[in-house]
Chains A and B, each alone.
Chain A
């Protein structure tokens, strides 16, 4: 069946079997492997993507159902302006460990912040309760989403200066002596 889908701003036209799951279509046909698959029962949520802005579990939507929709996956978070605030916040707050649930958590966080710019801890925990994480105990995921919300509101704490291993400090190599 012929479908047209806009994924991360790019239109894709494809012929797919009706039984192909959206998660599978994104991963294998489009090579967008940031969307993961973790269960068979619509329980874990690691496959969550945004469909017309709303989080859905892409393992429980057929690709044909996404015909004529706009899909956002983790690969679509970064823009010409750089990383999305939610991405920066997840790194800053140590909101991830193995990284498997992270794309879904960030997308759910992004959708939440768009609806509720200042979610409290309870609201964040409730919003991500369709998504499992085995590594973090959720503590820093919650912090990251709230930090991203604050950043988006422009009220982020300046906080202490950060040490970021990926921003290389300049090494001091003096001239060899002797």
Chain B
């Protein structure tokens, strides 16, 4: 299949890109990895009048740690995350999720920030970022603002980004050394969207008590959903199987899955229960080892 016609620009500077965005915001799509957008255009499900290709913008391909944050620029590809020693040391949830995004070839091209901005409710990164209390940085010709991840995705395929804004960075607070995380996902095959997935994060203090917790769900709510009630339950507690079972119950209760070809709602809810329990157990192991 072949895409419809569009105008194309490949700006070489951020200012140029932001200028184009503010001039033609309404019918413009930003092209980063393009691994979701281009197929949609080929299937003629999307027909933007203009694409602004940001792949030639400088300085957006870095994964770096500074000021207590792990920062991913707009052009960081899924495989950059998967191959990053920094990520694997600092953020086990992200490291666990990276291999399960799309497939290995798509991961060479697709970007983390692009996936977040696309806001597909079946997307994985948003749950990871919710579990890790991330923020996104939105940049426009008129300035820059940060948006907490939990406020970023507002609806299916809809975010808090304005038409003139570019998502230039996603950043995750770096916890202490005793942190663990996991991403439990059920895909029918490589490249499939998750039937259900659960991102988990646990931070422990010196006594092994839980001081930070993150749980977020993919594919089982209308948008990626942070299970704040379960997080609150965990924080301040000594980890135990019973505690995790209770958190898993809350996660399952929080999910509002639909019946579809991937299975009935009750099934998905049960998978959330199983995955939350397993994910917390793995997170704990990693945190205790860390």
Contact = CB atoms under 8 A, between A and B. Distances in A.
Do A's and B's CB atoms come within 8 Å in the complex? yes
Interface of A: 1, 17-19, 21, 24, 40-43, 45, 48, 54-57, 59-62, 64-65, 67, 108, 126-131
Interface string B1-45: 111111110100000000000000000000100110011011100
A47 B106 CA distance: 12
Given A40-B43, A42-B38, A130 B105 contact: yes
Contact of B10 (A41, A64, A131): A64
Interface in B32-76: 34-35, 38-39, 41-43, 51, 53, 55
B105 A45 contact: yes
A103 to B, nearest CB: 13
What is the interface residue range for chain B against chain A?
A: 20 to 34
Interface string B96-133: 00010011111111000000000000000000000000
Nearest to B3: A19
Contact of B108 (A21, A54, A62, A67): A54
7 contacts: A21-B2, A21-B42, A40-B43, A41-B43, A42-B39, A60-B39, A67-B10
B171 to A, nearest CB: 26
Given A56-B108, A61-B34, A129 B4 contact: no
B258 to A, nearest CB: 22
A93 to B, nearest CB: 21
B6 A131 contact: no
A18 B39 contact: no
Contacts of B34: 60-62, 65
A130 B190 contact: yes
